[in-house]
Amino acid sequence: MKIFTIFAVIFACAHGLGEDCNGSWGSCQDYQNCHTGSTITGQCAGPWNIQCCPKVGQSCKSNTGNCMLTSHCSGTTYAGYCPGPSNVKCCTGGSSGGCPLTKYTGSKIIGSTCTVEVGFVPQMDKINSWASSCNVQVYITSSYRANADVSGAIVQPASRSNHMIGHAIDMNVVDGATGVFCNSNCLRSLSTAPSGVKCFINKVQADSVLRWGMSFNDPVHIDEPININYPSRWDQLYWATQGACVSK
């Protein structure tokens, strides 16, 4: 009898908050936290508000492409290849199967791979041209970062970082005239930094779109503050990249 009780408890706990839904269609979440479209009821244990949030971004069954919201697919959608509700379909073609991220290359951009959302490319072009005119190189240390969620479930992140939508870079600056590698301490003390570095950062600060992270004590950070100025656009870009670029 005791054994039956234990089994019953284990069974009741399965498909609870944060776990896979019954049928692995997604993860069980408070329906208010599900931003991937309609939720599926009856697939999660627990109170009524814990519902199955369909997993998008996984590979389609027996087809190329990714499962995503049809509204986020810039290519062609196919029914029958993805679990979940009717607004999650297999997306093929379009921009990389709907993934809006691209690897940016520029003559003055060095260091780690620079992955940004396609809408940020014009800003990167400006950064590259300023680096050229100031005779510096921009050494990338970080760019796009998917929400590093350990469970693999798609959840609303705790805060909106512009790295998570591909509209931010972390960088050091290499001064062409002196060869000085200007890291975060060097950037923080901008008044004593090499003149090429000052020239470059001044252009970032003077720009009407871009923001230098020094204003929030992060001197290696440059972004387009979509999280502050256009939060709904941030949400849209976040779910578009999560849905189409992040493999599950």
Which residues contact Zn ion by CB under 5 A? 170, 221
Minimum distance from CB of 112 to Zn ion (Å)?
A: 12
Where do we find the tokens 């995503």?
68
Tell me if residue 75 falls in helix, strand or coil.
coil
Asked whether the beta carbons of 129 and 138 are under 8 A apart, the reply is no
Angle at 29 between CA 89 and CA 25, to 5 degrees: 35
Minimum distance from CB of 220 to Zn ion (Å)?
A: 7
Is the Cβ of residue 60 or residue 220 nearer to Zn ion in the bound state? 220
Minimum distance from CB of 247 to Zn ion (Å)?
A: 23
Amino acid in the structure at residue 158: A
CA atoms of 182 and 174, how far apart (whole Å): 6
Minimum distance from CB of 164 to Zn ion (Å)?
A: 11
Minimum distance from CB of 225 to Zn ion (Å)?
A: 12
Report which residue's Cβ sits closest to Zn ion: 221
Minimum distance from CB of 168 to Zn ion (Å)?
A: 5
Is the Cβ of residue 20 or residue 224 nearer to Zn ion in the bound state? 224
Is the Cβ of residue 136 or residue 222 nearer to Zn ion in the bound state? 222
Is the Cβ of residue 199 or residue 222 nearer to Zn ion in the bound state? 222
Minimum distance from CB of 60 to Zn ion (Å)?
A: 33
Burial zone of 66 (CB within 10 Å; 0-12 exposed, 13-18 middle, 19+ buried): buried
Is the Cβ of residue 27 or residue 162 nearer to Zn ion in the bound state? 162
CA distances from 36 to 3, 88, 112, 239 (A): 39, 9, 31, 7
CA atoms of 164 and 128, how far apart (whole Å): 21
Tell me if residue 12 falls in helix, strand or coil.
helix
How many angstroms separate the first and last alpha carbons of the chain?
A: 40
Amino acid in the structure at residue 185: N
Is the Cβ of residue 170 or residue 175 nearer to Zn ion in the bound state? 170
- According to DSSP, the β-strands at 114-117 and 50-54 are unpaired
With residue 212 as reference, give the H or E element that holds it: strand 211-212
Is the Cβ of residue 137 or residue 162 nearer to Zn ion in the bound state? 162
